[in-house]
A and B are shown apart, each in its own frame.
Chain A
Amino acid sequence: MRTLKFLLQKEFKQIFRNKSLLPLLFVVPIMQLLILPLAADYEVKNINITIVDHDHSSYSHKLISKITASGYFKLENYVTAFNEAFDDIEKDRSDLILEIPQGFERNLIREDASARQTDGQQLYIAINAINGVKANLGGTYLNRILADYNADVRMEWMQMPKFNRFPTIGIASSSWFNPTMNYRFYMVPGILALLVTMIGAYMCALNIVKEKEVGTIEQINVTPIKKYQFILGKLIPFWIIGIVVFSMGLFGIGWLVYGIVPLGNLFLLYAYLAVYLIAVLGLGLLISTYAETQQQAMSIAFFFMMVFILMSGLFTPIDSMPKWAYVMTQFSPITYFIEVMRMIVLKGSGFADIKIHFLIMIGFAAILNGWAIYNYKKTS
C-alpha cells in the first residue's frame, strides 16, 4: 500500500508537470465538445444545383424560385444547354442538375387531360453521387419539392373534390426524448463518450510505453515493486482523470452550454463510467505490452480507435449496417458506452434497461485486463 502511494504520487507529479500533456487532457476535450457537435450535423444544406431551362416560361421560373426558396438548394448556375450544366458537375461546382424541357409550361397546362396523362411532363434530374449522403438527400428533397409544385399546379387548374375519392391516412408524428429533433442532443453524449475513451486508452498506453522508451522500467524492475503495484500505479491516475474530464464535459459543456440535463440516475451513469474506464484502460495496458516505442503505441491505438469510432454508432446508426458490420460493432466497447450514455442521459433509462450492457462491459474489462497482465508477465 505504501509503495502504491509513492507510485501514485510520482505519477501525478509527472502528469501535472508535462506541459504538453496537460492541455491535451483537459482543454482539448472541452474544445472538441464545443466544436464537434456543431460541425457534425447530418442535415444537408447548401446543395448546389444547376438548372438547365429550355422553356424560359413563367412556370419554369416559378418552379426555380420554389426550389431556391426551400433553403436547401443554392442555385449555382442557370444555363440553357445540358452540356454546360454537366461541366459544373465535372468541376465539382454543382451537386445536382435539373433539366426543364422545352414546352414545359404549354404541355403542363394543356387542357386535354388525356394528353397530359400520356405525355406527362418529364423533368430530368442528374445527381452527382460522389458524396452518397448529399446526393441521396438532395434527390429526395428535390423530389418532394417537385411533388409539392405538382400539387400546386393541380390546385390551380382543377377543382378538388370535396371528399377524397380514395381513403387516405393522415400522419401525425411526435419526437420523443428529443422533441425539437436537436441534433446536438444526440451527438454530445456520444462525443463525450469518445473523448473519455481516447484519454483512457491513449494516455495509459503512451505513459507505460514511455517508461520503456526512457529505460526507467529497467530501473523499476530491479526494485521490490510488484507487477500489480506498477500496473495499478499507472491505471488509477488515468481512471481518476477520465472521471474528471467526463464530469467537466457532462456538466460544464453538456449542461451549461447545450442545456442537456441528464434524465437518468447520475449514480448509475458514473457506475457504468467506472467500469467502462477500467475496460478502456485495460486496452491501453494491452497496447503498451505489445509496443516498444511511443510511436508504435500511437499507431496501434490509432488503428483501434479508428475502427472503434466508425463502428461505434456515433455517426452512423448501427442498425442499418450490414450483418457482418453489426457483429463487428458488438466487439467495440465504445458502442455500448455511447448507447448507455444516450439511454441514461436522454431517455432516463434505469439499471434494468442497461443490465446487459453492464455485464458485457465487465466482460470487456476482465478480458482486456487479463490479457494485458498475462502478456505483461510473459515479456519480463
Chain B
Amino acid sequence: MKDVVLNNIAKIYNKGTVQAVNDVSFHVNKGELFGLIGPDGAGKTSIFRILTTLLLPDGGTASVNGFDVVKDYKTIRKNVGYMPGRFSLYPDLSVQENLNFFASIFNTSVRENYDLIKDIYIQLESFKDRRAGKLSGGMKQKLALCCALIHRPTVLFLDEPTTGVDVVSRKEFWEMLKRLKQQGITILVSTPYMDEATLCERIALIQNGSIMSIDTPQNIIEQFSENLFAVKSDNMGSLLQDLKNIEIVKSCNAFGAYHHVTFKDDNQEMKEALIRVLEEKQHTNIELNPITATIEDCFIKLMEDKEWTL
C-alpha cells in the first residue's frame, strides 16, 4: 500500500523562469520513514507544500492516502500532520495553549491522543506555561512535532525538522521519529544533512528540482562503483588544488579533515603513483587510506555525473 504517490510533479515560479520542481515521481509506502535529501533550494519545500495542499502543482498528479492533492484537499487536510521548516506556532500562546488549540480545531483533545505524544511531551511538561516564542530551538521543534501529531495523522510531513537544531537534539529527534514509525505513521522527512540519510528507510536524492536517485541508503552506497580514498597532508589547502591538477585523479572533494579522491583507472598502482606525485610537490605527512563511500560521496558523484551528461 502506497500512502504518498507523486507522478511527474512539476512546479514553476516567476512566470516560467524558475523550475523549482521538475518531473518528480516517487512513492512512500505505508509506515515507511522516507527521506528527501538535498541541498537548500533543491525543491524539497515546494514538494512538501504541494503534498500538504498549500501549493498547486503546475504539472503531474499527486495523492496522499489515495486522495488527490488538488481535488480532495479537504480530506487530506484532516488526515495529515505538517511541520513546516519555519516555526509556525503562535509565539504568544503558551505550550499548553498551542497544543490544546491544535487539538480542538481537529475536533479532538490532548487527552485522547496523549499516548502518541507522551514521550515527546514529557520533555516539554516543565515548560507548559511558557510562551512558545520563548522556547529554545530544540524545544520549539518538539512542540511543533507534538502539534503536528495531536490529531493522530496517517501521514506526517516534516520539512527540515533538524535544521538549526543542535547535535544532541537532532539525535533525539530521529529517535522520536523511529518510535513514531512503530506506531504505524508514515513519515516523509526532508533534510539537507547527508549524514541523516542513513537513518531513513528509503531516500530520494534531489538536486535542482530533479530526483537523482531513489533507493535504500544501503543500496545507494553500494552503487558507488569506484574505490574511494581519503587523503591528508600538512597543507590541506594547496593539497586540494594540486589533486585537482593531477592527471590520474578523477574527482577530488574536501570532506572535513580529509579530501576524498577517486582515480580514473582503479588499481593499486595508482595509489603509489599519487603519493609519489604529491611528494614531488613538497607535501609532507601524506596519508592515503581506502574508505567506504558515504551518502554525501554518492550525492556529489551523482551531481557530477549529471553535469557530465548535460
Interface set of A (CB-CB < 8 Å, partner B):
2-3, 6-7, 10, 13-14, 17-18, 214-216, 218-219, 221-225, 380
Contact = CB atoms under 8 A, between A and B. Distances in A.
A230 to B, nearest CB: 10
Contacts of B52: 222
Contact of B93 (A7, A13, A224): A13
A65 to B, nearest CB: 66
Q: Is the interface of B mostly helix, strand, loop or mixed?
A: loop
B97 A13 contact: yes
B92 interface: yes
Contacts of A10: 90, 93, 97, 101
Contact of B88 (A2, A214, A224): A214
B88 A14 contact: no
B255 interface: no
Contacts of B86: 215, 218
Contacts of A6: 101, 104-105
A218 B52 CA distance: 10
Interface stretch (B76-84, B161-169, B238-246): B76-84
Given A218-B54, A224-B78, A7 B105 contact: yes
Interface in B34-75: 52-54, 74
16 contacts: A2-B104, A6-B105, A7-B105, A10-B90, A13-B97, A218-B82, A218-B86, A219-B88, A221-B77, A222-B52, A222-B54, A222-B82, A224-B74, A224-B107, A225-B105, A380-B54
Given A222-B52, A222-B54, A216 B90 contact: yes
Contacts of B92: 14, 17-18
B89 interface: yes
A233 to B, nearest CB: 10
Contacts of B106: 223-224
B54 A2 contact: no
A214 B53 contact: no
Given A224-B74, A224-B106, A215 B88 contact: yes
B91 interface: yes
A215 B87 contact: yes
Nearest to B56: A380
B102 interface: yes
Contacts of A219: 82, 84, 88-89, 102, 147
